[in-house]
Amino acid sequence: MSKLWPLVAIFGAAAGLGGCALPPVLMVASYSADVVSYAATGKTVTDHAYSAVARSDCSFIRILKRKPICVDKPPDTPAPGPQLAAAPEADAPAAPAAASERYVTIGSFLETRHAQEACARYAPYHPAIIEAMVRGRHFHRVIAGPLSASEAEQLKDSLIAAAPESKPARG
């Protein structure tokens, strides 16, 4: 027991250097908030705060990947994937989509890496990953587009060809 006290004193002194130490309850709360934020968005609370101040997409974890901390999107670039419009009124007829703006859902995945693999596999069709919540579960949907009619048909045919054989339902 007497050997434990010097170790506790050293760690206590190290934690208190420079006035940076927070009470343990606040440290645990801070780490918990970071874990929850990172699990939900891929960014810590500090990353979100820095992104808001810098008005950019910032993540300090990019340093480990030898990438810049903040990444700016080009100002006139629309978000990838289909653009969602407001729901039409009940009396108004729905406007048809432009013939050149077709989108195909490649798949819906629970794990990000599977969605990224699908994006790589179908890269010629300009896929994007769209986040979705379905019955409380977080999915990563891979959607390709905008596509021409012939590109959409080609992609649908390749998806059907790549699908595993389905077994007949038992009665």
The amino acid at residue 122 is: Y
Between helix 45-54 and helix 24-41 the angle, nearest 10°, is: 70
Cβ atoms of residues 145 and 136 within 8 Å = no
User: In this structure, are residues 72 and 57 in contact, taking their beta carbons and an 8 Å threshold?
Assistant: yes
Mean pLDDT of 31-53: 79
Over the stretch 58-115, which tens digit does the pLDDT of each residue have? 888 888 888 887 887 555 444 444 444 343 444 444 444 554 578 889 988 999 999 9
Range of lowest pLDDT (49-58, 107-116, 118-127): 49-58
Torsion of CA 143, 149, 150, 153, to 10 degrees: 50
How much is the pLDDT for 151? 87
Identify any residues that bridge with 37 across adjacent strands, giving them in sequence order. Answer: none
pLDDT score recorded for residue 93: 45
Q: Write out pLDDT tens, residues 145-154.
A: 888 888 889 9
Q: Is the pTM of this model over 0.95?
A: no
One-letter amino acid at 160 equals I
